[in-house]
Amino acid sequence: MSLRDDLEAKERELGEQVDAIVIKTKDPNGAKLDRTEGLRLLDDGPTHPHDDGPLFYAWSKSWVFFVTDNGHGDSAIDMIPRHPTTAQPQFHGSFDF
């Protein structure tokens, strides 16, 4: 599964599409992309940051998504609420309400 597949699965699960994506590039400022272009770039290349896969932030109406290492050498997409909320923070961007 690609990072794009993982991010689109999160969108379906939450019922919200990503509005914008910033992907780490050689440009020190990164590049803010719309959903279509950002997903296309997530589909290209390696799927794990340790293999030069893309690090990114993505924003939907209610969530901020980012790639993490799940501790077993595989990447995962985690998320945090976009706006302040009552939650119990956990490792890797997880949380309990």
Average pLDDT over residues 8-14: 93
Q: Which residues contact 81 (CB under 8 A, 6 or more apart)?
A: 62, 63, 64, 87, 95
Q: What single-letter amino acid sits at 52?
A: D
pLDDT band at 97 (very low <50, low <70, confident <90, very high): very low
The kind and range of the H/E element at 51 are none
Q: Which residue has the tokens 């997880």?
A: 94
pTM of the model: 0.78
Task: Give the distance, in angstroms, between the CA of residue 23 and the centroid of all CA atoms in the same chain.
Answer: 9
Q: Give the pLDDT confidence of 26-45 residue by residue, as tens digits.
A: 667 777 889 998 898 887 65
- The tokens describing 24, both together, are 């780490």
What gap in Å lies between CA 15 and CA 89, rounded to an integer? Answer: 22
